Amino acid sequence: WTGQTLKYGDYVWAADVGGHLHCWEAKTGKLVWIFSGERMFKGSPCLYKNRIYIPSVDNHIRCIDASDGKLIWDWSSWADNDSSPRILDGKLYIGGEDGDLKCFDAETGKLEWKESYGRGSGEEPGSEGIECSLAIADNIAYFGHLEGIVRAYDLKNRKLVWKTPKLGLDIDASAL
């Protein structure tokens, strides 16, 4: 449930269900730093310009300095953020259990826009909105939703390209 481990250069980052993001030296396993959140980090971390971007089920999306584990910016909503962030052209794209596809400025954390698809009415008990991670190719984001629909969304023109008919109760699996 805590996403994938991230390895870049001489370092490895991984999160745990206790709400901690760890950084180790890749060759020795020596702990470099630990960042503490309020609940587990469910999505996978993303690295961009020596910053780690990581969502959490404590409703936050955080930007952390990859060198020292210090918080750079923090954005919070009322719902879990399970989806792993994707960065394209300096913009961070992510879904959330609030049902919103969001675009942030990766440097500042400013929410630039969101497209709302609602929380859905899928399987109960369960989660809501967009839990899967986005797949992005040619400026199109592909993602599933709790309502059982997969969508293709044009990020540059900010418009829906297509959507499937209802496929089932919930689409949590991430496209690659």
Please state the pTM of the whole predicted model. Answer: 0.89
Q: Which of 60, 70, 66 is nearest to 102 (CA)?
A: 60
pLDDT tens, residue by residue, 53-67: 998 888 889 999 999
Is residue 22 pLDDT above 80, yes or no?
yes
Residue 123: pLDDT over 60: no
Considering only residues 106 and 83, tell me which one the structure prediction assigns the higher pLDDT. Answer: 106
Phi, psi of 88 (to 5 degrees): -140, 125
- What is the pLDDT at residue 71? 97
**Inter-residue contact 172 to 147 (CB < 8 Å):** no
A 10 A CB-CB count for 70 gives 10
